[in-house]
Amino acid sequence: MAGSEKIVFCTGGGCTAKLGAGVLSRILEKLPRGEQDPNLLVGYDSKDDAAVYRITDELAFVQTVDFFPPMVDDPYTFGQIAAANALSDIYAMGGEVKTALNLVCFPESMDLNVLGEILRGGAEKVAEAGGSLAGGHSIADTGVKYGLSVTGLVDPRRMTANDTGRPGDKLLLTKALGVGLICTANRVGEAAPDQMEGAIRSMTTLNKTAAEIAHKYEVHAATDVTGFSFLGHLHEMMGDKLSCVINAHAVPVLPGAWEAADACLYTAAGQRNRNHTGPFVRFENVPFPMEEILFDPQTSGGLLLAAAPQDAAALEQELRAAGLPAAIVGEILEKQTTEITVNY
């Protein structure tokens, strides 16, 4: 945007700005529950991607909200990424995007053209998702933050919760990991331009196509991989009742992420992820950079799907044919002593 003011990079930008999973759990468990509503199929106590409320036996609405500070300098790109990240929760639940509301925090002293570009980027992603931008809310703040509140629809009989996988299911990941590491490397001038461009392409890609393809197959559970990292969201998928084995060599990784991890350019959020999820993980001959990639907080990450074993290969093939770097990365097992085993 020629002649415009650049957004000053926030060290906690994107999904690295999330509160740690452990802290958040301790807060939420103390909240009053109120009277239980049988139509609230998914609520905040489920650690899922969005809330789901049943209207009829065949229709439920899906609600989610997500916003954060910028992790890139270009306002338009930031708007796209923030919107794609918020919309992703609807796709993770198996839903269809219907409406969105803007959430904006913006300094009164900053050029309003910057805000216009952020909102333009977000609006274009809502339109690409097939939704309607229906309004929003803004407040004056000391820093820039942007995101969306999104409502979608889903057939409650076909929604994909995150903890309903079954032993034998294959685990598929639809986007490459490493955006947190690459953004950190970029901030200190250690990421090549093409590496940052690759991370931006990944973050601005909607999970719409992946979700539509997955809907054709028998998928028992799904989540989107964001700030709690691949392993953190995988831990939530196990739900204290399942275990899994991951082939780290099969996990797609963005160019530049390995080098950033090897140079110790990881984030505080990544270390919080390791501290919270690490006790549930056993690594077997996994190089340290790969461990860091698996704990790396993702912004607008891909879907992690638990697919029936007879469908997994065809699902992977169709996702790849659509241009997505999808891969079968593991398998769900009956509950074992170690929840997540990662080999290489």
- Whether residue 312 sits in one domain with residue 211: yes
The verdict on 49 and 25 lying in the same domain is: yes
- Compute the C-alpha angle 319/210/187, nearest 5°: 100
Q: What residues form DSSP beta bridges with 147? A: 67, 103
Residue whose pair of structure tokens reads 């409406």 in the numeric block: 99
Residue 96: phi and psi, rounded to 5, are: -120, 130
Residues 128 and 196 in one domain: no
**Using CA atoms, how far apart are residues 129 and 232, in angstroms rounded to an integer?**
27
Q: Dihedral of CA 41/44/46/51: which sign?
A: positive
- Of 2-16, 41-55, 173-187, 261-275, which gets the smallest average pLDDT? 2-16
pLDDT at 47: 75
Residues 146 and 174 in one domain: no
What pLDDT was estimated at residue 8? 44
What is the predicted pLDDT for the residue at 115? 96
Phi-psi region of 262 (alpha: psi -120 to 50; beta: other; left: phi over 0): alpha
Question: Are both 106 and 137 inside the same structural domain?
Answer: yes
Pair (40, 89) in one structural domain = yes
Residue 296's pLDDT is 96
Query: 0.85 cut: is pTM over it?
Result: yes
My answer on whether 123 and 186 are in the same domain is no
Residues designated as active site = 15
78 shares its domain with 224: no
Is the same domain home to 34 and 178?
A: no
Residues 62 and 211 in one domain: no
In a domain, 100, yes or no: yes
Q: Is residue 47 domain-shared with residue 73, that is, in the same domain?
A: yes
> What pLDDT, on the 0 to 100 scale, is given for residue 17?
60
Tell me the pLDDT tens digit for each residue of 168-211: 999 999 999 999 999 999 999 999 999 999 999 999 999 999 99
Min mean pLDDT across 53-57, 69-73, 307-311, 331-335 is at: 69-73
User: What's the Cα-to-Cα distance from 149 to each of 51, 133, 282, rounded to whole Å?
Assistant: 12, 10, 37
| 162 in any annotated domain | no
Question: Of 106, 126, 154, which one is at a domain's C-terminal end?
Answer: 154
Residue ranges in 153-248 assigned as alpha helix (H): 179-187, 193-204, 208-214, 229-238
Last residue of a domain, one of 154, 187, 204: 154
pLDDT at 126 over 50: yes
Non-local (6+) Cβ contacts of 10 within 8 A are 17, 69, 70, 71, 143, 144
- 123 and 234, same domain (yes or no): no
As a whole number of angstroms, the distance between CA 247 and CA 87 comes to 29
- In the chain, pLDDT over 90 holds for what percent of residues? 85
Which domain, by its residues, includes 182? 170-343
pLDDT at 14: 55
pLDDT value at residue 32:
76
Total domains, the chain: 2
The answer to whether position 163 is within a domain reads no
